[in-house]
Structure 1
Amino acid sequence: MASLSPLLSNFPPEDVAQLSIFGEARHYVAGEVIIEENEANKYLYLVLKGSVEVTKKGDHGPRLIAEIPQTGSIGEMSIFDPGPSSATVKALTDVEVWRATQENLERMHEVRPKVAYRLVTRICEVLAKRLRQLNQKYVDMV
């Protein structure tokens, strides 16, 4: 799993192996909605196989925000904020994911605190990078 996700890029193999204990694998078929905008989502997802699209509702239908390939992650905000999802995520192809809840990460923190810390730190890095990109897009539009 480490070579498949930037979130896990600096994880030792033994730590990556531990992650499967604290989450679950899921399969989605092409076209299936994984996360629905404005609905509750409690999962962080790592895309292990396939790709997904992220869309946001607009005045003239859904607007494509991003395509997340194999190795990407989605749902990171749900680990910190259990509010409604900010976008819809749909499988573009058949997709295999590993997913975990905030409760899974809390349990990981109790059992493997260094692994949990490393994962949460990487999630924060991903969110910070996306915020910087969004800030730049905003500045470019103004």
Structure 2
Amino acid sequence: MVKVLPVEQLINECVLFQSVTPEEMDVLLHASEREDFPEGARILDEGNSTRYLWVIQSGTCEVRKRLSNGNEQVLTQLSPFSIFGEMSFFKPAPHSASVVALTDVEVFRIPGREFDQMLKDGVSGAQKVVLNTVRIMSDRLRMMDEWTAEMVQSTGSRSKNAEWHDFRSKLYSDWQF
């Protein structure tokens, strides 16, 4: 088992582990790996592919998205008890953004292969993590919807408005892109 923050603190402060019991947490931690990154380290690189569900124990990171001109746009900052990597973890694909350490960072991560086995074995803690991840991603999507709608409205462009409505229609109906 990796050495991490007290189990009770993880359960109380990390949304990913909401409703997980201490015993279930021990099972999840037994499958986890711990790693430290120095300030400036690239923990995840956009376009690469790894299957880990990451939890920040200490430190701060930025999530960055590469733009067509080669620059990176900061999407958000992550602090202790934040998670990342969930999109590639649950649907294996290249990372959609990079994660860079702004300070020295301690993380633990759950490997995809071990997590898949826990789900196959019916481990209740793993099932709760899936449900909590859906909740986290729903909240993030809700915030992104709000932000996108505000941005489209603020441009005042009919073509951008039409583009937004077309995208939204595809996103919520047929998922065909």
Q: Same fold (TM over 0.5)?
A: yes
Q: 5+ unaligned residues in a row in structure 1: which ranges? A: none
- More strand per residue: 1 or 2? 1
Stretches of structure 2 lacking an aligned partner (at least 5 in a row): 1-9, 153-177
Equivalent residue number for residue 127 of structure 1: 137
Select 1:13's aligned residue among 4, 11, 22. 22
Is the contact made by 2:61 and 2:101 (CA closer than 8 Å) also made in structure 1? yes
Whole-Å Cα distance in 1 between the matches of residues 36 and 106 of structure 2? 5
User: Any runs of at least 4 consecutive aligned residues in structure 1 with deviations exceeding 3 A, and if so which?
Assistant: none
Q: CA deviation at 1:112?
A: 5.3
| Corresponding residue pairs, total | 142
- Report % sequence identity: 28
TM-score (norm 1): 0.92
- Give 2:88's match in structure 1, choosing from 78, 84, 98: 78
Which amino acid is the alignment partner of residue 134 of structure 1? M
Q: Does 1:24 align with 2:63?
A: no
Partner of residue 162, structure 2:
none
Cα offset, 1:24, TM superposition = 0.7
> Matched residues in 1 for 2:43 and 2:13: separation?
19
Q: In the alignment, is residue 69 of structure 1 matched against residue 79 of structure 2?
A: yes
Per the alignment, residue 54 of structure 1 pairs with: 63
| Cα drift, residue 60 of structure 1 | 6.3
Higher relative contact order (CA 8 A, sep 6+): 1
How many Å separate the matches in 1 of 2:13 and 2:40? 22
Task: State the match for 1:104 in structure 2.
Answer: 114
| Alpha-carbon distance in 2 for matches of 1:120, 1:47 | 18
After TM superposition, the score normalised by the length of structure 2 is: 0.75
Aligned-pair Cα RMSD in Å: 1.5
How far does residue 3 in structure 1 lie from its aligned partner after superposition?
A: 3.5
